[in-house]
Structure 1
Amino acid sequence: MIELDTIIGIKTATAVDVNNLLVPSNSLAAHLRQYSEPALFHSDGAGKYHMSLSGSLFRARFNDRYFVFVSRHQMTLGNYEHDQIALLNYDKKTLVTSHRAVFPDNASDEYDCAVYEFTDLIKSGKLPATSWYDLKTDWVRDHLPKPNLVVAIGYPGHRNSIDYEAAHYGASPNAVWGVEASPVIDGRLSFVPKPEILFEPAGMSGCPVFGCSLDNLAPTCFFAGILTNATQNRFNFFSFSRMRPLLERLLASG
């Protein structure tokens, strides 16, 4: 069987199925990048625009509702309240915060995930309805496929910062490819970066992790989870299957 990393490396017409959209393999990372953003927080007194950074986030929709996923430790490390997480409308240059949230009831680090809803902001026109990953296809799968290749797309701190004096904010993502590895943290899945990375991935927590699998030599991409802990040698993430109960609670809230 042809290895998926070989297919991804071929700059040809080979395409990967992403939610029934065929994306050229050499454009896959650029396509998936639209669903990942730096995690911004509305913080009074933090520069002219009152915003600060803490890791990355994943933007997704389910039917007509829109959500942001982050790792919960991004909130605790910055001492942020749940109503501070925000998205930037780049066209209008406005910062908007979530109107609903769900997170674990206990304070354990084991369930490192939180979900925020932005549906009302979409419906009111304060945020665009484009560039949200559609969870519907992955939702109806009996189980997630075993990936031949994994990719995380986030915003490491060494390339992303806010210059408060110059009132400048720049966002520069990194795609990290790898292969599945045996978990080393309870409640997590893992992958090993290949090729090796030379930067510290601090700041990528909360970013989406996608799996790519071969089905009859037809590459398919799916949402696998969000990054929680990472080093240069191993990326650990919280699986989509374990995130579902939180999203179900939000969906049930109407």
Structure 2
Amino acid sequence: MRDPFWEARTSQYVQAIKLYEKIEPAYSALEYLSKAATPGRYQNSGYPEFPFSKSGSGFRIKRNDRYFAITSRHQVREYDPLNFILPSACKEFSVSPDRIILPSRDGRSLSSEDYLIYEYTNAVKSGLIDASRFYDVSEQSSAAKIRAPNLLLGLGFADNINRVEYGRTTYFPQTNFLFGFPVLPKINELLSFRLENPSPFEPRGMSGGPVFALFEKERFHDILPIGIITNASKVIINYFPLPFILENIERHKWWLPNRGPTDPLIVKNIGKF
């Protein structure tokens, strides 16, 4: 069933998208891309009837046989970062990360860079989490310069559409899509795009969701993940470049200790994901 914000899901400029050497209708391609996006869920304590809260969004990626979820850093200010959770493959419970990789460059931890990387390799390889919901960026260089795209696409989970309501016993998140054109950024170290049409909803809560670049061909658009949303208005989306994040995955020097790969945080799910 089409959601009430269907007009924000599609673009008049995009009819087909090439995914892994196969050309798909735009709608099918967007459905596929949405699997890699996730609401930012954090375990609650003291609420047994509804054991998690939502804060922002996330992007699940696969990198050289390792699996990660990326979020914006500011969305975890009110939470313990180790309480971040992803739904299990059976969708009956959620699982905490193996560890958290913090932003760093040249051995320095950078609190100014607005992202966190959660590693889920152990959980995926043990079968706890569905590997098909991670977007493969294994072939993508962390040092590559990306040519200017014709169009950009941001995915995430707006708060006013995906809020957690504590009186309910189900939670069915709905991916929100926003298309736009590249513009000169006004914030250091971030990139930006202006929406094709003003957003029909307030995009607060989409931070951490993926940004894809679309490159026009004769009959379709090539697509490439290039960042995560850091902040958004109804007109402008700002995002942090993915190459810097991939570089940190390769270095992985700064990380918070985990609870142990054999001792994941298991949280009962409410609803389907």
Q: SS state of the match for residue 171, structure 1? A: coil
1:152 paired to 2:154: yes
- How many aligned residue pairs are there? 242
1:109 shift after superposition = 5.6
1:252 shift after superposition = 10
Amino acid paired to 2:156: G
Rounded Cα–Cα distance in structure 2 between residues aligned with 1:137 and 1:22: 19
Contact 1:178/1:193 (<8 A) preserved? yes
- Counterpart pick for 2:114 among 112, 115, 128: 112
1:130-163: per-residue Cα shift (whole Å, max 9, x none)? Answer: 1210002323773223110000111001111222
CA 1:206–1:119: 2 relative to 1, 3 Å? same
1:223-249: per-residue Cα shift (whole Å, max 9, x none)? Answer: 010000111111000011222232112
Runs of 4+ in structure 1 deviating by more than 4 angstroms, as ranges, are 105-109, 215-218
Determine the structure 2 residue equivalent to 1:42. 43
Determine the structure 2 residue equivalent to 1:94. 93
- Counterpart pick for 1:240 among 236, 239, 242: 242
**Which one scores higher on RCO, CA 8 angstroms, separation ≥ 6?**
2
Determine the structure 1 residue equivalent to 2:258. none
Q: Give the TM-score of the pair, scaled to structure 1.
A: 0.87
Contact 2:43/2:84 (<8 A) preserved? yes
1:161 paired to 2:163: yes
Determine the structure 1 residue equivalent to 2:61. 60
Q: CA RMSD in A?
A: 2.4
Unpaired stretches in structure 2, ≥5 consecutive residues: 1-10, 256-273
Contact 1:181/1:190 (<8 A) preserved? yes
Rounded Cα–Cα distance in structure 2 between residues aligned with 1:252 and 1:61: 19
Unpaired stretches in structure 1, ≥5 consecutive residues: none
In proportion to residue count, which structure has more helix? 1
- Higher mean C-alpha deviation, range 42-51 or range 137-146: 137-146
Contact 2:227/2:242 (<8 A) preserved? yes
CA 1:134–1:150: 2 relative to 1, 3 Å? same
1:143 paired to 2:145: yes
Q: Give the TM-score of the pair, scaled to structure 2.
A: 0.81
